[in-house]
Structure 1
């Protein structure tokens, strides 16, 4: 009989190793955990367990919820035309391009090609947000537009996943009805609940949020959909509340990134076969080109239409070409539900990982807006001024 606690210690040790590598290299922790999972699956013979699947699933739900909660509703409203145009085309054209490539060029069946279209149409909110904060662009108008556009793109991918792979039956009607009710009630009910029962040792507000996420996720599963869909919508519905409740946001992030999401990203990497990556290297590179070119065709002209400078337009296009979280979620959904096989999963996840790295490096190296560099320098200079002189 396998020793549960020793097995758990191995998974946590891998998570710890990933965190240390991320700190030393400066690479996104999610990306490093996937790579560690790849190595563990190919060289250590690690495999999933029932409890690992549960924790990984909970991690993906919570991560998706937090991504939705990061969207600033005010920015989404004030820059709606720019955000909607960039975000919608950033999803639609790569979805079509990747679907056609997988269906006609690679000969994948309809369901597998649809998974490919969804997985390669995503934009990584996690990667983009980290870049925004690092460069100071999150405080500029350009940065706010990019972040809002990321939400539109990923909302498109989540909705597509729900629509294309849902079973329209009585369970679906129940799921839609309950989700609509929860989304309409929670923005008003949650502030009262947290004010009345929050900030206690028992963490009632955290348990309340997990109850909503698991309830909607369970109904989504019964309807044949994916639990991340209502989680993302619930996060958006409560985004205004979370922007004011920084302490609660921090606690939820701590739960997610310290314990739950490492299992998800390690598991995602576990299914990548290195021999399959080597055998499919040409397909993977073409898939990456398809994603980046289709993103360029969709996003670049729109940035020029809204009078972005050439540098800002290219920078925006490259950041919208990134992918990680929703790409791996979509791919893993396809694998676990039998829509794609392990070789196809490996192709998609490897392409997604490369899309998190390549466009970001190009954008930061060659197209980083000068105004951001100036703003960062100014902030650094102000930080060096003694506090009494600032006053």
Structure 2
């Protein structure tokens, strides 16, 4: 057995290298960690063990929680109709299209095709948020609409993952009931914990949230579901609290990106086989095209219905064609549970990585909206919440979430 400290030093060293590369190239650190994991797995013979798998699982859960918590409730309410319609179409069209392609063209089994559809149905909140901040669109109506639609899109993916692969038995009933009760009470309990014991060196509020995430993750795995499902819902349930307690969000983000998520993304890249990648290049290109075309067909018309100018419509559609975190989570779920093999996993993850790069590059190069093209806010508006420290969130996300 390898020395635990040597193994930890190697993995953290790779994570540090990925951080430096992401800063120098201006790419998402998650994307670079996957790429570094691919190289390390195919050249250094890097492997996982029980404790690395545990840290990687913790990273996926906390990252999913933070993704749900990043959505400003005010922005979601202001753009409710548009975000629900565009986000649902952004999930459903590529899910059905990619499932049909992998089942009837690539010849995968139905469970394998469902994993393919889920992996390609996602959009990348991390990539989109970074682009919004970089361009300043996060302060505009179009930026808030895109972010809200991305949230709805990914929520559809997470819910579908749970529905398709859960065991429908008593364990699932217990999981659903306990999760529902927890989500109903979580806001009040979290406020009490923060008011009574918050801002202490021992970080009781952070430990409380981790307790909730890990407890619901345990129930989810017993029900043969995925721990990221309740994590996303927990993030949404306390998103409004985080708008008033940004330091708590930033401490959790530091914990996630410094200690936990590198294990997950490095591990995700570790399973990508370069020989399989070369032999599957045609399938990879086809999967990327299927995702982009189905996103165009699903999202494009609805953006026009909600009053976006054509240039802005194309920009929105392209950004919603990106994928990264939930795409790799879905593919890794399929691999870990023996639903897809390593060759299929390689094809899916490579297509997902390409979708984080290609649509973003096209959108930023040719379709970046001009200020006068920013659409008016939809009619379904609500008064903004006080204390939303947008600039702090934007600055932090740019530095750490690429």
TM bucket normalised to smaller: over 0.9
Deviation at 1:195, TM superposition (A): 1.1
Q: Secondary structure at the match of 2:121?
A: coil
Map Cα deviations across residues 325-368 of structure 1 (whole Å, 9 max, x no partner).
00000000000000000000000000000000000000000000
Q: Secondary structure at the match of 1:250?
A: helix
CA distance in 1, matches of 2:66, 2:27: 20
Match of 2:98 in 1: 98
CA distance in 1, matches of 2:139, 2:2: 51
Counterpart contact for 1:135–1:373, Cα < 8 Å: no
Deviation at 1:373, TM superposition (A): 11
Deviation at 1:370, TM superposition (A): 1.4
Counterpart contact for 2:69–2:235, Cα < 8 Å: yes
Counterpart contact for 1:123–1:150, Cα < 8 Å: yes
Q: Secondary structure at the match of 1:48?
A: coil
Corresponding position: 1:251 with 2:266: no
Match of 2:290 in 1: 290
CA distance in 2, matches of 1:74, 1:373: 22
Q: Output the aligned Cα RMSD.
A: 1.0
CA distance in 2, matches of 1:131, 1:107: 36
Map Cα deviations across residues 58-92 of structure 1 (whole Å, 9 max, x no partner).
00000000000011112212211110111000000
Match of 1:35 in 2: 35
Match of 1:153 in 2: 153
Match of 1:353 in 2: 353
Deviation at 1:224, TM superposition (A): 0.5
CA distance in 2, matches of 1:177, 1:96: 29
TM-score scaled by length of structure 2:
0.92
Match of 1:67 in 2: 67
Match of 1:21 in 2: 21
Match of 2:338 in 1: 338
Match of 2:11 in 1: 11
Counterpart contact for 2:85–2:302, Cα < 8 Å: yes
Match of 2:163 in 1: 163
Q: 1:108 to 1:372 in 2, by over 3 A?
A: farther
Corresponding position: 1:277 with 2:280: no
CA distance in 2, matches of 1:4, 1:79: 49
Corresponding position: 1:193 with 2:193: yes
CA distance in 2, matches of 1:263, 1:284: 25
Q: 4+ residue stretches of structure 1 with deviation over 6 A?
A: none
Deviation at 1:372, TM superposition (A): 8.2
Alignment of 1:289-308 (within 5 A): 289-308=289-308
Map Cα deviations across residues 293-334 of structure 1 (whole Å, 9 max, x no partner).
000000110011111001100000000000000000000000
Q: How many residues align?
A: 374
Corresponding position: 1:205 with 2:213: no
TM-score scaled by length of structure 1:
0.95
Counterpart contact for 1:276–1:343, Cα < 8 Å: yes
Counterpart contact for 2:84–2:152, Cα < 8 Å: yes
Counterpart contact for 1:135–1:372, Cα < 8 Å: no
Q: Secondary structure at the match of 1:120?
A: helix
CA distance in 1, matches of 2:59, 2:373: 35
